[in-house]
Structure 1
Amino acid sequence: MLETPLQVSEVFRADQFELAMLGINLLKGILGFVIAYIAYRGYRRNESRPMLYISTGFILLLAVPFVSFAVAISLVAAVDLPPVAEQGVVVVSELSQLIGLLVIVYALRM
């Protein structure tokens, strides 16, 4: 039997993948702002502190990472950032998500 190497095909090219991920992150950021705004309106209408915490949690969970990555991308385009700065953006994003989840859990336990 004749052996032939397996053929590997890419589903997405690198630029298509980055564009798709940017679009997904944009939708996540917008959705985070919308959910936070609706929760904040609920807080203002009912003066419910848990709704304020839920609003804050969603801002930290979805909006802050989006904004931090958008700022990092624009800085990378303008100035060549060192890898440490890029790692800092990832750490800020991950911590923001963790704190956002903890705030939402706290609000649900109130």
Structure 2
Amino acid sequence: MVDAATLLTLASAATAAAGVVVAWLAHRGYRRNDSRAMRFLAVGVACIAVVPFPVTYGVGPLLGLSDAATLLGVLLANVAGLLAVLYSLEGT
């Protein structure tokens, strides 16, 4: 049986991979239509779905960050992503 840590890593990787695809599609929409809203949507999706994976499994262990510091990095990426999505919906 697969342990919980392995399942968590696989689910996180799948989330990041799906986030890359969605952000890439939004970026294509930005390039095709020169739409600032789509650019901010792409950035927001990347910050929410993609950035947490390398922060959790790359930067955190590489720099020897505590769990709290790693979680702070993930939460800051999520806040930045949500603000970018909000701006894409309301600010442009």
Matching residue of 1:53: 40
Provide the C-alpha distance between the structure 2 equivalents of 1:87 and 1:46, rounded to a whole number of angstroms. 41
Normalising by structure 2, we get a TM-score of 0.87
Residues 3-18 of structure 1: pairs in structure 2 closer than 5 A: 16-18=3-5
**Aligned-pair CA distance for 1:43:** 0.3
Provide the C-alpha distance between the structure 1 equivalents of 2:16 and 2:71, rounded to a whole number of angstroms. 16
**Aligned-pair CA distance for 1:72:** 4.3
Which of 62, 75, 92 pairs up with 1:94? 75
Mark the runs of 5 or more structure 1 residues left unpaired by the alignment. Answer: 1-11
Matching residue of 2:30: 43
Matching residue of 1:69: 56
Normalising by structure 1, we get a TM-score of 0.74
Aligned residues: 91
Provide the C-alpha distance between the structure 2 equivalents of 1:108 and 1:71, rounded to a whole number of angstroms. 31
Question: Does residue 21 of structure 1 match 2:8?
Answer: yes
**Aligned-pair CA distance for 1:90:** 0.9
Larger radius of gyration: 1
Runs of 4+ in structure 1 off by over 2 angstroms are 72-76
Select the structure that is richer in helix.
2
Matching residue of 1:105: 86
Which of 85, 91, 96 pairs up with 2:66? 85
CA pair 35-67 structure 1, distance change in 2 beyond 3 A: same
**Aligned-pair CA distance for 1:99:** 1.3
Q: CA RMSD in A?
A: 2.0
Which of 11, 14, 17 pairs up with 1:30? 17
